[in-house]
Amino acid sequence: MSEPQVEMSMPRGLVDQADDGIVRAWIEREIGPVQSLRREGRWRPAWFVDAQSAKGRVSLYVRGARGGRWPARPLAYEARVHKVFEENGIKVPHLYGFIEEVPAMVMDLVPGRPNLSTAASEADRTQLREQLADQMRKIHELDPALIIAAGAAMPAGPKETTLSAYRDAEGVYLTGERLPSPDIEFVRKWLDRNVPESLDPPCVIAMDAGQFIFEGNELTAMLDFELVSVGDRHTDFSALRSRERVEGFDDPEGFYKLCEARGSRPINIDHVRFQHIAFSLFTPLQIADDLARPKDQEDYHEYLIWHAISLKDALEGIAESMGIALEPYALPAPVSTRYCNSLEALDTMVQSLGTDDEFAAYRKDKIRLALRYLRRAEGVRETFASEYVRETADLIGRRPDSEGEASEMLVAFIAEAGPEHDEALLRLLHRQVKRQAAILADEGTWLQQSLSTPLRPLKKE
């Protein structure tokens, strides 16, 4: 494990102000006078810009880097991949260039919205799915040498082809700080023990696939290529399972058949299942350092949600592959403590804070979400800890003194355990992830539904 680095940075507001000036100066030098510039209200730095070019008014989207230690390759790599895609007929926004100092990519702001469920009709959805299938096939048919020249690695053999994208994230995890995470360690070990050889030669894959926007029945742009690599195309088909619950992608098996009908090579459902387990672990691996060392620039509460959803899917995917039925978890009745009252008082105080702009409003909302999470967590904290400690003691034969020690002991146990312990570990870790998930989202939200809904098994003809 690498030594933690001391990080020094300006306060967030000063960083934003400096970046605003750099973005404005670059656009005025390379494109033309800036007429408006607005920071997007989200955790990742991004800007909406209107400018006057030599050819007329242009609307731009400036996409900044995430910050922190991930993804495995820098934003400059994504810019090179984006350029390769544009030059080879993939439907992407036109890329004007790359601002090294921020860093940030400058591209056309393309009209459209995500989420197939918002399409006006089933006929529109059908046409959009056909266009997505064609775009994915074009990506898979690109010459891998183009992406390797941009900075990706060529996998060394059939099993490494299967896990090439996953290994990128695992490298970030293994070289960073991390809390004891028996759920991650169990899934890592299961993947290494069960990895199949790739059925196809290495090809270009988007990894976080299926991201696009549309207007009417037209796919207007494919998006987000920071995780593009060379590997197994089943990785991309597996990603669509994670979009099923929140982006209207409710029939992945039907989409696989559509892809085959439109020229893709046959898709193997067992390989999709395996790849979805690896895909689900990708995010927890990348954000482990951020959860161990919170930083002002990142959305810690959002990362907790990502970890819970992703590990739930990974563990349920393993249960699907093993033919095991997992039990639901019943949330215990919460108790009220004096700390709950303090958190409620903080929530009330935050409501009175001003919101001068879109980004300030975003941060205020995130603070309130985090406070509500902490209030729910406080109400069940002691019950959760006692359940986890008891279950760990039952499995390994020695009682931990605390929740933290239980996780440390489980990590050590997993490192030595054989496959005969897989089912017991799977059940224990799934219950623990369900505990975490149960208190992360507000009742009735799509997020609460995602955290509480089991992964739908893939049907195999």
Kindly tell me the burial class for residue 254, based on how many C-beta atoms sit within 10 Å of its own C-beta (0-12, 13-18, 19 or more). Answer: exposed
**What tens digit of pLDDT does each residue of 96-118 get?**
999 999 999 999 999 999 999 89
Task: Tell me: pLDDT of 441 over 90.
Answer: no
In the block, residue with structure tokens 């197994």? 232
pLDDT at 359 over 80: no
The pLDDT-based confidence of 370 (bands split at 50, 70, 90) is confident
Q: Output the pLDDT for position 16.
A: 57
Amino acid 138: pLDDT: 98
Task: Give the pLDDT confidence score for residue 355 in this predicted structure.
Answer: 74
Instruction: Output the CATH code of domain 35-108.
Output: 3.30.200.20
The CATH classification number of 116-323 equals: 3.90.1200.10
**Banded pLDDT at 337 (limits 50, 70, 90):** confident
pLDDT at residue 203 greater than cutoff 70 = yes
- What's the pLDDT tens digit per position in 230-256? 999 999 999 999 887 767 788 899 999
Distance CA 138, CA 140 (A): 5
Instruction: Select the more confidently predicted residue: 438 or 131.
Output: 131
Cβ–Cβ < 8 Å for 80, 150: yes
- Span 320-336, average pLDDT: 91
- Please tell me the predicted confidence (pLDDT) of residue 12: 39
- pTM, two decimals, is 0.91
Q: Start-end ranges of CATH 3.30.200.20 in the chain?
A: 35-108
**pLDDT for res 6:** 30
| Each residue's pLDDT tens digit, 31-73 | 999 999 999 877 788 999 999 999 999 999 999 998 778 899 9
DSSP states along 243-266: TTTTSS---HHHHHHHHHHTTPPP
pLDDT tier, 13 (very low <50, low <70, confident <90, very high otherwise): very low
Residues of the chain with CATH 3.90.1200.10: 116-323
Mean per-residue pLDDT, 192-208: 97
Tell me: pLDDT of 275 over 50: yes
Q: 395-428, pLDDT tens digit by residue?
A: 999 999 999 999 999 999 999 999 999 999 999 9
How high is the pLDDT of residue 342? 86
Instruction: Give the pLDDT confidence score for residue 200 in this predicted structure.
Output: 95
Would you say residue 223 has pLDDT above 90? yes
Q: Does 180 score more than 60 pLDDT?
A: yes
Q: Is the peptide bond before 71 cis (omega within 30 degrees of 0)?
A: yes
| pLDDT for the residue 367 | 85
Omega of the bond leading into 332 within 30 degrees of 0 (cis): no
Query: What is the residue-averaged pLDDT of the chain?
Result: 91
pLDDT digit string (tens) for 121-142? 999 999 999 999 999 999 999 9
Residue type, 458: L
What is the tens place of the pLDDT at every residue in 28-40?
Answer: 999 999 999 999 8
**pLDDT beyond 90 at 75:** yes
Residue 356, pLDDT above cutoff 80: no
- Would the pLDDT of 338 be above 80? yes
Q: How far apart are CA 431 and CA 391, in angstroms?
A: 10
Q: What is the DSSP string of 15-39?
A: HHHHHHHHHHHHHHHHT--EEEEEE
For 109, other C-beta atoms within 10 Å of its C-beta total 15
